[in-house]
Amino acid sequence: MALKEAPLPAPQRTPRPPAPNRPSGMQRKDAWWIQPLLTALVLGGFAIYATWRTFENAHYRFGPYLSPFYSPEIVTGWKVFGWTISPALFILPFPLFFRATCYYYRKAYYRAFFWDPPACGVSEVASRRGYSGEREFPFVLQNLHRYAFYFAVIILGILWWDALLAFDFHGKIGLGVGSLIFLANVVLLSLYTFGCHAWRHLSGGCMNCFSCSGAAKTRHSLWERVTHLNENHALWAWLSLFSVVLTDLYVRGLATGAIHDIRIF
Ligand code: FES
């Protein structure tokens, strides 16, 4: 006698929780907008300040101190419509491009300015139609970050030289508050630059074995140090941004006579 199969029970669906009284796609109740707002204010303020200082073309040197916005000082004397071209125009594009293509800053300003999305768990505002990520101009330029890193290292070397010169007062070693500010600035810039994702890849990427040779072990130990810096990349990104502005403001304050450098010895 053939056995009759029992009918399968109808699939059960887990009941959905009631829809929250928030816009579609929004899953957060906290003040998620504070972070993108602060980012927009700080980065927007920096862009305005850097542009103004570039075109001011004055008050960038005092004694042994040379503003990082104008270093290395390239003076051509070229004039356009009676305006002497600022040396900062030749320098700033390199560190600015390095920051603009930085993996961390990309996340920060995509969220702050494009709201794409503005935070985790918050839906995008703009339509994604036609969105091509970083495969088309202008965002495809983000892929040049590793080349920007090479230029950033050269500029960093020059800024280290400036920081050493900040201890040279008319041929004698001295120490002013400015010397300490210059030193703190290059240290923070180094922590930011050498925590770069591109540098992390260069130091330890494309390897199958970290212990197979002396060179591989050296690369592994370098990679570990870079990884350590990279874990706090966002912190160094912000601190070094503030220190560059503070250093420039300090030199400008001295050059305009608004403040005086305190000599410790
Ligand atoms: S990823 Fe931030 S500087 Fe390279």
- pLDDT, one tens digit for every residue, the chain (265 residues): 445 556 666 656 555 554 444 555 567 888 999 999 999 999 999 999 999 999 999 999 999 999 999 999 988 788 888 888 999 999 999 999 999 999 999 999 999 998 878 888 888 776 666 667 788 898 999 999 999 999 999 999 999 999 999 999 999 999 999 999 999 999 999 999 999 999 999 999 988 899 999 999 999 999 999 999 999 999 999 999 999 999 999 999 999 999 999 999 9
**Rounded-to-integer distance, Cα 173 and Cα 265, Å:** 9
64, part of any domain:
yes
128, part of any domain:
no
**Rounded-to-integer distance, Cα 228 and Cα 103, Å:** 16
261, part of any domain:
no
**Rounded-to-integer distance, Cα 253 and Cα 188, Å:** 22
60, part of any domain:
yes
Centre of ligand 1 to C-alpha 1, Å, is 75
Q: E strand or H helix at 88, and its extent?
A: helix 88-91
Looking up tokens 């600022």 gives: 86
Q: Is the CB of 103 under 6 A from ligand 1?
A: yes
What's CA 37's distance to the chain center, in Å?
Answer: 17
71, part of any domain:
yes
Q: Is the CB of 233 under 6 A from ligand 1?
A: yes
49, part of any domain:
yes
Q: Is the CB of 226 under 6 A from ligand 1?
A: no
State the closest ligand 1 atom to the C-alpha of 233, by its place in the atom list counted from 1: 2
Q: E strand or H helix at 79, and its extent?
A: strand 79-80
Residues facing residue 130 across a β-bridge: none
Number of domains in the chain: 1
**Rounded-to-integer distance, Cα 190 and Cα 66, Å:** 18
Query: Can you give the residue range of the structural domain that contains 175?
Result: 34-122+135-256
Residues 6+ positions from 151 with CB-CB distance below 8 Å:
94, 97, 98
